[in-house]
Amino acid sequence: MSIGPYKTNKGRLFYKGNNFFPCIREIRGLKPDCSLVNRHLEIRQNGKKWGSLVRIWSSVFLATTEFMKLRGALLFDLPITTRMISSPGALTGTIPSDVDPFEINFFNHKTFLTQSSQLYLEFAITNPEIQSVFCWEKSFRREKADFRHLPEFTHVEFEGNINFKENLIIQKEYIQFLVSYIIQNNIGDLGVFLDKKQMSLLKEFSRLKSFEEISFIDAFKLLKEKTGDPKYNQPTIKKFGAYEEVLITEAIGQPVFITNFIENEVAFYHAKCEKNKLLAENADFLFPGYGEVIGSGQRVRTREETEAKANRFKLSMRDYKPYIESRDIQNPKIHSGWGMGIERFVQAVLQLPFIWEAKVFPRVHNQNHP
């Protein structure tokens, strides 16, 4: 399925172009330019482009709230300041792939801007009258912007009393619901960015009966088979980036969930896989020709396991005590959730080269104007 903005080409990650942007031979390594400071002028001067983008964002929000209402998920309002960051591995030195948080002085208290609202969503479903919740919030990660990353982004997150497999089903239903909603309500806006063939492929995506699943270990076997590169002999998240994600979607030819990553390379809150304790019960959803747009997993259940993980990942017991205490000693629940960056979804669907083109006023590391 040849949708999405990218394709692999002799070791390069090639941008295919759309109605606004030409092809780019290698997309990696390109940085935001100074034109972003003029967005307040562009939004007036280029009415068709930015008007269509804003209408599509509006539809994504409306579709999200409609989908969650149909699922019975409640909107949960949350803070964006916290002492419990969701990916503390960079601070503790336990997970190299984790990203540093933004630290702020909050009334003379060391505080962080949230990287994800997940831990607080988990608190919500400990209430016996609440089965599932969602949020639409800002998340912040102290990393330089690149073609798929922003230090500030809009994050839709879901958490429910469901198992891992049910979680994957909800993600599939959600992303297809979004695409169908945009096709139904914004076909003219899509046509501003995409040609008829590209829009036809989006319709095909929205009607797929199933998405593929492949384990992280098997994904590396496939990468080795397709490339012959010995760096894929040993599965590790350190060797699994945008190029590999796009190559996997090309090799499989379908949207795909990569499941069961190496447990000690992913966030502390992921449950261990029942069949292999060295693996986590987690998944990334890869959009064809783009890569990861949703990260998900089943959460640690028991208080004992949660405390053991907190110790192994060197978490502050003072800061993470509420999370540990949220586990019911007598009746630990199975619960799972996921999160999706809206900018990534919009970028993938509209086949945009850079994620900072997926919103009117992005925040990047080298400028914060207007």
Per-residue pLDDT, 98: 81
Residue-wise pLDDT for 270-298, tens only, equals 999 999 999 999 999 999 999 999 999 99
Per-residue pLDDT, 100: 92
For residue 257, being part of any structural domain is answered with yes
Residue spans of alpha helices (H) in the chain? 39-45, 47-71, 89-92, 118-124, 164-185, 187-193, 196-206, 216-227, 242-252, 303-312, 317-325, 342-350
Per-residue pLDDT, 91: 86
What does the buried/exposed string (b/e) look like for 305-317 if buried means 16 or more CB atoms within 10 Å of the residue's CB?
A: ebbebbeebebee
For residue 367, being part of any structural domain is answered with no
Q: Are strands 12-15 and 256-259 parallel, antiparallel or unpaired?
A: unpaired
For residue 189, being part of any structural domain is answered with yes
- Asked if residue 94 has pLDDT above 90, the reply is no
For residue 101, being part of any structural domain is answered with yes
Give me the percent of the chain exceeding a pLDDT of 90.
Answer: 91
Per-residue pLDDT, 328: 86
CATH code: domain of residue 146: 3.30.930.10
Confidence grade of residue 245 (pLDDT, cut at 50, 70, 90): very high
Residue-wise pLDDT for 294-340, tens only, equals 999 999 999 999 999 999 999 999 999 999 999 988 888 999 999 99
Per-residue pLDDT, 265: 95
Residue 303's identity, in one-letter code, is R
Which residues span the domain enclosing 17? 6-357
For residue 57, being part of any structural domain is answered with yes
Mean pLDDT, range 204-211, rounded to an integer:
97
- Asked if residue 9 has pLDDT above 90, the reply is yes
Per-residue pLDDT, 1: 74
Per-residue pLDDT, 369: 86
For residue 89, being part of any structural domain is answered with yes
- Asked if residue 97 has pLDDT above 80, the reply is no
What does the buried/exposed string (b/e) look like for 56-94 if buried means 16 or more CB atoms within 10 Å of the residue's CB?
A: bbebbeebbeebbeebebbebebeeebebbbbbbbbeeb
- Round the average pLDDT of the chain to a whole number and report it: 96
Confidence grade of residue 154 (pLDDT, cut at 50, 70, 90): very high
Neighbour count for residue 330 (Cβ, 10 Å): 4
- Asked if residue 153 has pLDDT above 90, the reply is yes
- Asked if residue 47 has pLDDT above 80, the reply is yes
pTM of the model: 0.96
For residue 363, being part of any structural domain is answered with no
Among 26-30, 84-88, 148-152, 189-193, whose mean pLDDT is lowest?
Answer: 84-88
Q: Residues, the chain, total?
A: 370
| Token pair for 13 | 């990650």
Neighbour count for residue 210 (Cβ, 10 Å): 9
For residue 1, being part of any structural domain is answered with no
Tally the domains of the chain.
1
- Asked if residue 96 has pLDDT above 80, the reply is no
